[in-house]
A and B are shown apart, each in its own frame.
Chain A
Amino acid sequence: MLELLVMLVCGCILISGVLAVRLPNLMTAMVSSGLASLLAAVSYVLLAAPDVAMAEAAIGSGLATLIFLYAIRRTGGADAGREKE
């Protein structure tokens, strides 16, 4: 039962990583990368490393998303810098 959940979490990390690279809008790519680090924190817990998971949840999912949001706001909107597909 739990192995299935671990495999599902790892598959969702893969999907959100691919989406963060491929999406044309920068804001949605930022949301997807935040989801990748969020699920990475969950998989750290499932692999019995709770302190690493706490650091990942604080830094990767919270602080990195805020810094990306600030950078996107300062560099001209969500559509700048990435080509339309």
Chain B
Amino acid sequence: MADFIVRIAAVLIFFSIVFGALRLIIGKTLMDRVVAIDMLTVVSIALVTLYAHLSGRFVYIDVALVYGLLSFLAVLAIARFLEKGP
């Protein structure tokens, strides 16, 4: 059962990366690309956590933790830049 759930999670992460990269490639405006990179950040945190479960090394969860604490900074700065103008 747990193996089945992990397999479903891997498939969902796969398609999330594919469609996020498609949005990044064909995105017309800057907003589309910022939202795409934000979604890919969350998906990559999920990928790191899934790999920590699969490999059995729980050091990797620290990487996901640091990543989740730091990754919103760039999106926040870009949003502030877009609100105030150059």
Residue total for B at the interface (Cβ-Cβ under 8 A): 37
Contact indicator A4/B74 (Cβ below 8 Å): no
Q: Which residues of B contact A46 (CB under 8 A)?
A: 51
Contact indicator B14/A5 (Cβ below 8 Å): yes
Residue total for A at the interface (Cβ-Cβ under 8 A): 38
Mark B residues whose CB is within 8 Å of A: 7, 10, 13-14, 17-18, 21, 24-25, 27, 30, 33-34, 36-37, 40-41, 44, 47-48, 51, 54, 57, 59-60, 62-63, 66-67, 70-71, 73-74, 77-78, 81, 86
Q: Can you report 19 A-B residue pairs in the complex whose CB atoms are below 8 A from each other?
A: A1-B10, A2-B10, A5-B47, A12-B40, A15-B21, A27-B30, A31-B34, A39-B44, A42-B47, A50-B57, A54-B62, A58-B66, A61-B67, A65-B74, A65-B78, A72-B86, A73-B81, A73-B86, A76-B86
